[in-house]
Amino acid sequence: MKILVADDDSISRTLMQRTLQKFGYEVILAENGRMAAEILSRSDGPRLALIDWMMPELDGPDLCREVRGFHREGEYVYVVLLTSKQSNEDIVAGLEAGADDYITKPCHPAELRARLHTGCRILSLEEKLVHARDEMLYKATHDALTEIWNRASILSLMKSELERSFRDDAPISILLCDVDHFKRVNDDHGHLVGDLVLQEVAQRLTLAVRSHDAVGRYGGEEFLILLSDCDDSALESRSESLRAAIAATPIAAGRQKLSISVSIGAATCRHWEPGIPIERILDRADTALYRAKAEGRNRTGLAGELTAAWSGS
């Protein structure tokens, strides 16, 4: 683990560096508080710091306060103050400034090692908690089968994108995609093959859109796609490229290769005023999808552009 040693005395820095290297730490040195603050503010900066109380530019407590003002997402910096001050008032002042622990000079190597080991345990625990939080968030927002946005998340994103579209006076296109004859796939080949088909369709759709677009599982074999900054003139070509991404190559399911296609209902929206139910645009896209399926499937049905006048009616 990397550790920062901040001390304005070069001899003390060198001695501490040698001691910590024997403990197995990768040591980074700073000769004053301002240099230490700059190092600790970096995204890849050390998460463990041993800082002297008395330093030029920023002393130990001031450095602690500055460190606590940093925003390093999920990366807490554990700070140990190195001090010759031994009064209760000074110790309390250092801890209230943001230090996690302190050790008085001259420090015994065994005590130093034990206190730093405590810091490492706390940082390890934080990493586990952050990982668990991220995993729970992912499971709450993503579909378990296809690993794309789930229904609640894609609808929430749709609402946010419509509001952004209104603020920026930019168009957004909504696509509802339905896997053609999916019931037949399940009936003829089994649900495991059906799951493989849904996973592959989700992956192909995700690869076919831009990084700032969004693909979610709307329900069953239906997918909802948000194309930001896509107006009515570009909608048909964008929809057709998505349709072709599915139909162009059969999907391998074990020894079988299945020809799969999707039908798409697409609508572009502009000036969607906040507060207007998103179900209105979803209904328009769904109607266009129904028309595409009625006309033979494996095609796109266009609902046209929805304006503020329509959405408010």
> Which residues are known to be catalytic?
221
What's the CA gap between 11 and 31, in Å, rounded? Answer: 11
Decide: residue 7, CB within 10 A, 0-12 exposed, 13-18 middle, 19+ buried.
buried
**Alpha-carbon separation of residue 104 from 30, 52, 108, 119, 193 (angstroms):** 19, 10, 9, 17, 66
What's the CA gap between 230 and 312, in Å, rounded? Answer: 21
Q: Give me 163's structure tokens.
A: 């509001």
Q: What share of the chain is helix, strand, coil (3-state, %, to 5)?
A: 50, 20, 30
Report yes or no: 50 and 4 within 8 Å, Cβ to Cβ. yes
What's the CA gap between 305 and 23, in Å, rounded? Answer: 66
Helix (H, G, I), strand (E, B) or coil at 5: strand
Strand 101-104, strand 78-83: pairing: parallel
CA dihedral 94, 97, 99, 100 (to 10 degrees): 100
**Alpha-carbon separation of residue 243 from 141, 264, 269 (angstroms):** 25, 7, 20
Report yes or no: 242 and 209 within 8 Å, Cβ to Cβ. yes
Q: Which residue has the tokens 């696509």?
A: 175
What's the CA gap between 52 and 103, in Å, rounded? Answer: 10
* Beta-carbon count within 10 A of 96 CB: 11
For the chain, how long is the longest CA-to-CA vector? 85
